[in-house]
Amino acid sequence: MRPDTPADHTTEAERLLRTAATYPEDHEPLLLRAAAHLELAGDRARATDLYDTLLGSTPSNPTLIRALKAANLWEYGHEAEARAIIEGVRAQVPQDAAPWEIIAETLEAHDELEASEATFTQAAELLADGEDEDYATQSLLTSRHRVRRMLALEHDAWDHRADALHTGAVPLDELHDPKRLWSLGSDDPAELQAEITRLRSELGSYRTALSRPFPVAVLHWPEAELDELVASYPELEAEYPTYAAHLTDLEASLRELQAAGTPNLGIVPATVPSYEAFAASESSTPANPDLLPQYATTLAARGRATAWPPARTAACWCGSGRTYGECHGAD
């Protein structure tokens, strides 16, 4: 049963702690979940003890745990210690988005909007490449957009990037309108009901978007990207012996899928930095060929795919400059 009360959260935390004692190899994720339940139960001092236990056991992501500890400490009166930890996390320059978002949102929650915006900006300059952000980086850019909107700052390049990545029917400028955010704390029942109605509408649009099937897609590595990939990971040369063979195999694979009756086919452009980031998110090495179809599916789910086949008079997907009918669409 889902925990709903402080007592339920305490019970769930105790269960997770017992499980961690039984399976020490999984103690880190189990203790993190237990700490989260203790925070929800209001037992923040005990949650801090769990974070300290994790930090003393060589965790896989100590920066994330420090960020969580800082957020927890500030909530029960240890502002000075939380600030010191936040500055330490920023100085460590973590290479994943989660610690940045936690400390920036902690600052935001305590009305430190300028410091929050500076933290989000530091993270964006480090992690966002402007080409193919993963979900965590997209979330970071969206949160940064919210804080800058509350500060009434003019849009910059990262705000425009957040707008471009946003797929909801309601634009971010409206979602992050300070009047809307403040209305959620209103004592006026009519204002609250109007905002709840709007949020329900937006949630319905979001669920509709998620329910749309994404294409069955195959990867297209541009020639320069493929050269870099094979040079960096020679184990993948068996998958991609030459660029010409890659293009031929790609078209052949799609025709086979079409002949088998598979609908909604597509092609997704691949890049080495994006693929390396995906491999890291999967705790795997980019040299693992089993990751390639998973990477293609992930890109397709993010809306990166171009429908295949193109019209015979349209430009060929390979970028040759010829029409599809004259190029890979030729019989």
Does 81 share its domain with 150? yes
Reduce the DSSP state of residue 216 to 3 states and report it: strand
Q: Which of 15-19, 188-192, 273-277, 314-318 has the weakest average pLDDT?
A: 188-192
Mean pLDDT of 140-168: 90
The pLDDT value recorded for residue 170 is 73
**Tokens 């294409």 correspond to what residue?**
215
Query: Domain check: are 153 and 254 in the same one?
Result: no
Shared-domain flag, residues 111 and 36: yes
- CA gap 146, 172 in Å, rounded: 8
Pick 132 or 45 by higher pLDDT.
Answer: 45
302 φ, ψ (degrees, to nearest 5): -90, 5
Same domain, 11 and 149: yes
Rounded distance between C-alpha atoms, residue 87 and residue 108, angstroms:
15
Task: Report which of 23, 50, 56, 25 is spatially closest to residue 37, judged by C-alpha positions.
Answer: 50
- Mean pLDDT, the chain, as a whole number? 87
With respect to residue 321, please indicate whether it lies within any of the assigned structural domains.
no
Read off the pLDDT of each residue in 18-30 and give the average, rounded to a whole number. Answer: 88
Whether the predicted model's global pTM rises above the 0.75 cut: no
Over the stretch 82-118, which tens digit does the pLDDT of each residue have?
A: 999 999 999 999 998 999 999 999 999 898 999 999 9
Q: Which of 12-26, 39-53, 61-75, 185-199 is predicted least confidently? A: 185-199
Cross-strand pairs, 254 = none
| 315 part of a folded domain | no
Is 322 among the domain residues? no
Residue with tokens 């889902």: 2
Q: Is residue 1 predicted with pLDDT exceeding 50?
A: no
pLDDT in tens, 31-67: 999 999 999 999 999 999 999 999 998 888 999 999 9
Residue 162 neighbours by CB under 8 Å, 6+ apart: 138, 141, 142, 144, 145, 172
Does residue 254 belong to any structural domain of this protein?
Answer: yes
**pLDDT for 206:** 53
Do 144 and 175 lie in one domain? The reply is no
List the CATH number of the domain containing 54: 1.25.40.10
Last residue of a domain, one of 126, 144, 165: 165
In-domain check, residue 318: no
Q: Is there a domain that residue 283 lies in?
A: yes
Q: Is residue 89 part of a domain?
A: yes
- Could you tell me if 143 and 32 lie in one domain? yes
Regarding whether 138 and 16 lie in a shared domain, the answer is: yes
pLDDT-based confidence at 3, cuts 50/70/90?
low
- 161 within domain boundaries: yes
63 and 183 share one domain:
no
- Whether residues 102 and 195 fall in one domain: no
Task: Please state the φ and ψ torsions of residue 218, each to the nearest 5 degrees.
Answer: -120, 155
Same domain, 14 and 102: yes
Percent of the chain with pLDDT over 90: 53
Domain span at residue 199 reads 167-212
The last residue of one of the domains, among 155, 187, 212, is: 212
Q: Which residues pair with 205 in a beta bridge?
A: none
Percent of the chain with pLDDT over 70: 89
Same domain, 52 and 128: yes
Number of domains composing the chain: 3
| Per-residue pLDDT band at 230 (split at 50, 70, 90) | very high
Q: Give the separation between CA 221 and CA 211, rounded to whole angstroms.
A: 28
Nearest to 215 by CA among 298, 318, 279, 281: 298
Domain boundary among 145, 165, 185: 165
Tell me: do 147 and 37 sit in the same domain: yes
Q: What is the pLDDT of residue 129?
A: 78
CB burial of 100-129 (b: ≥16 within 10 Å; e: otherwise) equals: bbbbbbbbbebebeebbbebbbebbeebbe
